[in-house]
């Protein structure tokens, strides 16, 4: 997969893209990543990229006559590439959105800053907008890093034996259940015996019940959309009975 990021602060990506799974993806040629400085596409001798908004108001706005040529230059005439503005006005990043984006061979992410984008950038260059939450950051760089990480988890061959994303939180509409590793007992707290017995069917049932319980406790709203078997619906009834006795 190829990912291009347009940003005013390309060096922000140096550390993140050189560590952990990002480094692995690049090292194994699963990711071709480039951070482009938007200032390089400014025609102004001072490399100015923003200006005051028409109609007044606070803040500065990124100029269309800088960002649009920057996107076009990075695309190099290639069509059909998603050009995504990182914006609190965009659709919310989710597991399904990450899977959708991972299906594309190339993505272009544009990081906003200051007060936002000139509206003509949306009209002339962007195909999508994505938000990572209902809050505002000082710029789109951190959001772009989150999107890249979420997307790369679904690129074939990246996780390899470290996989298990099918059990990740939100992968099947539920939160992920509890995990344990050695030691078997720590400060009086032990690992559930089911996980130590080697009965794979029992382990899978325990994990599903754990995921359901955690979702019931923390994000009950997700259960309204999850596809549950009769046994799983019965488990929810057990949770309700258990809670009523507390």
Q: For 216-246, what is each residue's pLDDT tens digit?
A: 999 999 999 999 999 999 999 999 999 999 7
Top-level CATH class of 2-161? alpha beta
Percent of all residues in the chain with a pLDDT value above 70, rounded to a whole number: 95
Counting as low any pLDDT under 70, the low residues of the chain are: 160-171
Q: Which of 51, 100, 149, 168 is labelled catalytic?
A: 168
107: CB partners within 8 A, 6+ apart: 1, 2, 3, 4, 81, 82, 84, 101, 151
Q: Would residue 238 show up in a list of annotated catalytic residues for this protein?
A: no
Furthest-apart CA atoms within the chain: distance in Å: 72
CATH architecture of 166-244: Orthogonal Bundle (1.10)
225/40 Cα distance (integer angstroms):
46
Nearest to 153 by CA among 35, 25, 34: 25
DSSP states of 134-185: SS--SBSHHHHHHHHHHHHTTSTTSSGGG--GGGSTTTTSS-------S-SE
Q: Which of 37, 51, 72, 115 is labelled catalytic?
A: 115
Q: Which of 4, 118, 129, 153 is labelled catalytic?
A: 153
The pLDDT, as a whole number, for residue 166 is 53
Q: Would residue 153 show up in a list of annotated catalytic residues for this protein?
A: yes
* Confidence (pTM): 0.88
236: CB partners within 8 A, 6+ apart: 212, 216, 223, 228
The pLDDT, as a whole number, for residue 168 is 57
Q: Would residue 91 show up in a list of annotated catalytic residues for this protein?
A: no
Extents of the domains making up the chain: 2-161, 166-244
Q: Would residue 168 show up in a list of annotated catalytic residues for this protein?
A: yes
Q: How far, in whole angstroms, is CA 146 from its chain's centroid?
A: 5
In this structure, how many other beta carbons lie within 10 angstroms of the beta carbon of residue 223? 16
Domains 2-161 and 166-244 are alike in CATH topology: no
Residue in the structure block whose two tokens are 């950038």: 121
Q: Is 78 exposed, middle or buried (0-12, 13-18, 19+ CB in 10 A)?
A: exposed
**Length of the chain measured in residues:** 246
7 forms beta bridges with: 37
């Amino acid at each position: 997969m190829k990912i291009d990021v347009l940003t005013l602060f390309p060096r922000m990506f140096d550390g993140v893209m050189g560590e952990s799974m990002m480094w692995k993806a690049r090292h194994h040629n699963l990711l071709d990543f480039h951070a482009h400085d938007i200032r390089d596409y400014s025609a102004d001798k001072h490399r100015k990229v923003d200006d005051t908004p028409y109609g007044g108001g606070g803040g500065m706005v990124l100029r269309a006559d800088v960002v649009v040529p920057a996107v076009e230059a990075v695309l190099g005439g290639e069509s059909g590439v998603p050009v995504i503005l990182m914006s609190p006005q965009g659709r919310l990043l989710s597991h399904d959105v990450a899977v959708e984006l991972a299906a594309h061979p190339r993505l272009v992410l544009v990081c906003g800053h200051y007060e936002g984008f000139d509206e003509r950038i949306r009209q002339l260059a962007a195909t999508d907008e994505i938000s990572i939450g209902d809050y505002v950051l000082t710029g789109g760089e951190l959001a772009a890093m989150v999107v890249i990480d979420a997307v790369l988890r679904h690129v074939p061959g990246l996780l390899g034996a470290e996989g298990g994303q099918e059990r990740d939180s939100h992968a099947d509409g539920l939160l992920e259940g509890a995990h344990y590793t050695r030691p078997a007992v720590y400060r009086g707290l032990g690992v559930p015996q089911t996980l130590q017995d080697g009965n794979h069917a029992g382990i899978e049932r325990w994990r599903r019940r754990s995921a359901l319980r955690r979702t019931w406790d923390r994000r009950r709203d997700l259960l309204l959309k999850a596809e549950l078997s009769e046994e799983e619906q019965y488990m929810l009834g057990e949770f309700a009975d258990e809670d009523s006795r507390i």
